[in-house]
């Protein structure tokens, strides 16, 4: 996942694999770092929703 850099230690201590990236997706969960990443986040959400890999069987 990604998040604001200021909480990186907390995120890692909670067990996440943290990345300094505008957007990270893992098994349908999409995270971003800050409001400045909104365009990348929105595009990834659209990609995830439009794809069929997360649809219920």
Chain segment 6-50, per-residue pLDDT in tens:
999 999 999 999 999 999 999 889 999 999 999 999 999 999 988
* CB proximity list for 1: less than 8 A, separation 6 or greater: 11, 16, 17, 18, 19, 24, 26, 29, 31
Is residue 8 within 8 A of residue 16, CB to CB? The reply is no
Beta-carbon count within 10 A of 21 CB: 13
pTM score above 0.85: no
Is pLDDT of 54 > 90? Answer: no
Is pLDDT of 57 > 60? Answer: no
Is pLDDT of 52 > 90? Answer: no
Is residue 2 within 8 A of residue 23, CB to CB? The reply is yes
Q: Residue 36 to residues 7, 14, 39, 41, 56: CA-CA distances in angstroms? A: 17, 25, 8, 9, 32
Is pLDDT of 56 > 90? Answer: no
């Amino acid at each position: 996942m990604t998040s604001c850099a200021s909480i990186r230690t907390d995120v890692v201590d909670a067990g996440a694999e943290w990345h300094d990236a505008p957007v990270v997706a893992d098994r349908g969960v999409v995270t971003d770092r800050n409001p400045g990443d909104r365009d990348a986040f929105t595009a990834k959400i659209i990609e995830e929703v439009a794809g069929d890999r997360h649809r219920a069987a």
